[in-house]
Amino acid sequence: MSTTEIDRQWTTRLRKRVEGKLPPEKLLPDTQPAYVASWIYVFGVATLSSLILVIATGTLLAIRGPIWWHQSSIGHFVNSLHLWSVEIFFFSMIIHLWGKFFMGAWRGGRQLTWMTGVVTFVVSIVTGLTGYVSQTNFDSQWISTQAKDGINATGGGAFFNVLNFGQMLMWHIVLLPIAAVILTALHVLMVRVKGVVPPYEDEKKVAQ
Amino acid sequence: MNWLGSIINLDGYGHYLHWHFILVSVANLIVVGLMVITFVAALFLPFPGKGRRKENR
């Protein structure tokens, strides 16, 4: 095979494109810009860390099932860890959102970073709702009977029935986590490709 | 967590604030308040080791 033929292969072209956009030193940098040394930049990583805990505890709950998480002490503990890591996940994500909104984090060609974050936020809310209605307790019964009215009012109830436990559980433990993890990975990759948005006053200095 | 239950009575109806079309539970309002406090603190609290950092733009 000639060099030209090798260069034309889709694997070669894709590798070169990925290497150009995201070289290893950009993917896993040694240092960060000076302006990142602020607590407001911590909440993205806090959200990511709590997401890892959410997935880990959710995996344990999926392995052992509802009897375990309702009736055993360790099941109660893991169930509580799952709930509280979700609380910290949303708490951090909303502060991250506020921080990035007031920074205008879509500046400098970072529109995709912003939009992947927005879509991840929406997907996380739906994941949270399907989680609440999958608890198999009175709380989940109450939430699902209330939520059905809201969703039916949008016309979405025919496709997304919050009273259908099987459907909600599958969305909660399969479809939505896959979507959330893929979107989060894309979001983080976009941050690495475009870099962390500088403060307004540093923007001109960075551009020079 | 029994000690917490002895301070705050969690065994009862939730408390809600209702103003025109706005209806929010006190529990949610406390969480929102904590988020605002954390946000403001994150803006103004000094970050450890800020002076020692190398720049990499």
What ipTM was predicted for this assembly? 0.83
- Give the Cα separation of A148 and A134 in Å (integer): 14
Residue B55 has pLDDT above 60, yes or no: no
A34 in a domain, yes or no? no
Question: Is B4 an 8 Å CB contact of chain A?
Answer: no
Confidence of residue B12 (pLDDT cuts 50, 70, 90): confident
CATH number of residue A145's parent domain = 1.20.810.10
Q: Where residue B57 falls among pLDDT bands split at 50, 70, 90?
A: very low
Domain boundaries, chain B: 14-46
Residue pLDDT, tens place only, A155-185 = 988 899 999 999 999 999 999 999 999 999 9
A15-42 burial, b if ≥16 CB within 10 A, otherwise e?
eeeeeeeeeeeeeeeeebbbbbbbbbbb
Structure token digits, residue A196: 């962390």
Q: How confident is the model at residue B51 (pLDDT cuts 50, 70, 90)?
A: low
> Is residue B53 over pLDDT 60?
no
Amino acid at A99: G
Mark yes or no for CB contact B56/A95 under 8 Å.
no
Shortest Cα distance, chain B CAs vs residue A205, angstroms: 10
**Nearest chain B residue to A93, by CA:** B35
- Do A138 and A81 lie in one domain? The reply is no
A27: which chain B residues are within 8 Å (Cβ-Cβ)? none
In terms of domains, do A167 and A195 share one?
A: yes
CB contacts, 8 Å: A94 with chain B: 35
Nearest CA in chain A to B49: A37
Same domain, A195 and A117: yes
Give the pLDDT of residue B43: 93
pLDDT at B5: 66
- Is A29 a domain residue? no
Residue of chain B minimizing CA distance to A203: B57
Q: Which residues of A touch B50 (CB under 8 A)?
A: 34, 37-38
Q: Chain A residues with CB inside 8 Å of B57's CB?
A: 33, 195, 206
Burial class (CB in 10 A: 0-12, 13-18, 19+), A113: buried
Q: Would you call A8 exposed, middle or buried from its count of C-beta atoms within 10 A (0-12, 13-18, 19+)?
A: exposed
Based on the fold, state whether residues A176 and A127 are members of the same structural domain. Answer: yes
Distance of CA A22 to the CA centre of its chain: 21
Q: How many angstroms separate the CA atoms of B3 and B21, rounded?
A: 36
- Rounded Cα–Cα distance for residues B29 and B35 (Å): 10
Q: Count of domains in chain A?
A: 2
Residue of chain B with shortest Cα separation from A99: B39
My answer on whether A74 and A113 are in the same domain is no
Contact call for A94 and B35, based on CB within 8 A: yes
Q: What is the pLDDT of residues A51-63, one digit of tens each?
A: 999 999 999 999 9
Q: At what angle do helices A73-103 and A111-132 cross, to 10 degrees?
A: 150
Give yes or no for residue B22 having a pLDDT over 90. yes
Are residues B16 and B24 in contact, defined by beta-carbon separation less than 8 angstroms?
yes
Q: Is residue A189 part of a domain?
A: yes
The pLDDT assigned to A170 comes to 96
Supply the range of the domain harboring residue A80: 39-88
What is the token pair recorded at A139?
């709380």
> Which residue stretches of chain A have pLDDT < 50?
none
Chain B residues 9-48 within an 8 A CB cutoff of chain A = 31, 34-35, 38-39, 41-43, 45, 47
Structure tokens at A10: 């889709």
Same domain, A177 and A144: yes
